[in-house]
Amino acid sequence: MKLKSAIITSAVFAAVSAFSAQAADSIKLGFIDPLSGPFAATGTGGLKQLEYAADVLVNEKGGVLGGRKFEVVPYDNKISPKKALFS
């Protein structure tokens, strides 16, 4: 579980370098995982970890790039590669 949290936290901080200060007010982090069906518990757990990392480790400390906040945007892929694709 610690490894998964470390990976998620690393992903949040790595996302900072992928965005410039000229983008929207908040920095959106996409989360694609099963949020329904038989693996919903796994997806929901991962979503909560990412939200925690974004909120507690970044947003509550003043944000990044001059005060910008992370916003986690969840997407339920319903355990289907076709559903995971954005159109």
Boundaries of domain holding 46 = 1-8+33-79
Percent with pLDDT over 90 in the chain? 60
Residue 37, domain member (yes or no): yes
Tell me, what's the pLDDT at 40?
A: 95
Tens digits of residue pLDDT in 33-75: 999 999 999 999 999 999 999 999 999 999 999 999 999 999 9
pTM of full prediction above 0.75: no
How confident is residue 10, by pLDDT bands cut at 50, 70 and 90? low
Place of tokens 């790039």: 65
Within-domain flag for 55: yes
Q: Are 66 and 27 in contact (CB under 8 A)?
A: no
Residues 6+ apart with CB under 8 A from 11: 29, 50
Q: Please count the structural domains in the chain.
A: 1
Query: Could you tell me if residue 49 is inside a domain?
Result: yes
Inside any domain, residue 38? yes
